[in-house]
Structure formats: C-alpha cells, structure tokens
Copies of this chain bind each other. A is one copy, B any other.
Amino acid sequence: MSKVIADITMSLDGFVTARDPDAEHGLGVGGEVLHRWVFEGNAGDQRILDAAVQTGAVIMGRNLFDIVDGPDGWNDEMGYGAEVAAKPPVFVVTHHAPDRVRLVDQMHIVTDGLASALRQARAAAGDKPVVIMGGGATINAALSAGVVDELVLHVAPVVLGSGTPLFGDGLAVSLELVASASTPFAQHLTYRVLPA
C-alpha cells in the first residue's frame, strides 16, 4: 500500500507561512525565506525536489488549494509534478467545493473529509507514495489521525515569530530520524512516525 508522506517547509519555530498569507503572498508577508531552498537552492536541495517525481498522488487543504489554483499559482513551469509528463492527481480536502477550478485536469475536490481524500489518493497512487503537502492544518489533522508514515520537514534557518503554525493543539508524536541533509537554506529532515 502507498506510503503516506507529510512534506512541508517550516521555520525553526514551526511556522509554515509567515503572517497574513493570501493569494498574493502564499507564504505570508516576508515568508519567501521559507522557500529559498526551492528557488535558490543548491544541488542538495535539487536532489530533494527531484524525489518528488516519485509521488503518486497529492493531498492538500483548501487554503493551499486557493493559492496554487489561483492566478499566481501553479503553471507548466511551477508546481508539484510540473516537470513530469504525468502530473500526479491532487485531492483537495475542503468543506465546500470552490465555484471554479482552474487546474481542472489535476485537481479533485473532496468534500467528505480527509479519510475519503486519503482513500481516493491511495487508489490513484498505486504503489507510489501519497504526499500530503499542506497546509499546516491539514498535516496537523493527518498526524492527529495517525495516518502519516513519514514526516518530511524542510527547516528554513529563520525564526519567524508569527504565521501559520504546523503543530499545536496538544498534538504529540514520537518520531525516528531516518534521513537528514543540510543545505544553506534548509535542514532537510525525514522522520518515520512511530506508533502512538
């Protein structure tokens, strides 16, 4: 069965965006520092990005969808799977379906919960991994539900002080570090999630 990977970039103080994220500022105001490893990274960062082509299906929450499906969002050059012919399907967990979807070939709207999105994503992914790419609340919910096999964090060298938290609400998780790589713009950490 597909491995379920939660994969996200955070600041050293656990924020996945800076304050006030919106369609124009997907990473919040001043949050670009989080993704320097993606856009200005070195060969080590590129190796991490290249691994994403193995992804069988993607899950994301509504806030993230509104950004990546928005006018300044993903396009043929940027976005998950942009560089491969067969882009992985994306399952969007939301309470209310959006009025319109721009990336209709890639996006699948799921209104009956994370478990349903996960079931559909697994079916689509075959043997390849399912990647939950955020946002913070969706990964938090997946960790709380105990459905995450691996937590992959890209820790940017910054303390933001405010923004969208990844953790919180008393979520407790035991982990085992299975891979680690340092680059100037991120400490890449791969943890296996241990049984509660």
A residues near B, CB below 8 A? 12-14, 33, 143, 153, 157-162, 166-177, 180, 182, 184, 187, 189, 191
Contact = CB atoms under 8 A, between A and B. Distances in A.
Contact of A13 (B160, B167, B184): B167
A169 to B, nearest CB: 8
A170 B18 CA distance: 11
B173 A159 contact: yes
Copies of this chain, whole number: 2
7 contacts: A13-B14, A33-B174, A157-B176, A157-B191, A158-B174, A160-B172, A176-B184
A172 B159 contact: yes
Nearest to A186: B177
A184 B192 CA distance: 12
A180 B191 CA distance: 16
B177 A180 contact: no
Nearest to A159: B173
Given A167-B13, A182-B180, A173 B158 contact: yes
> Top 3 A-B pairs ranked by shortest CB distance?
A13-B167, A161-B172, A159-B173
Given A13-B14, A13-B168, A33-B174, 16 more contacts: A12-B153, A13-B166, A157-B174, A157-B175, A157-B176, A157-B191, A158-B174, A159-B172, A159-B174, A161-B168, A161-B171, A161-B172, A180-B180, A180-B182, A180-B187, A187-B189
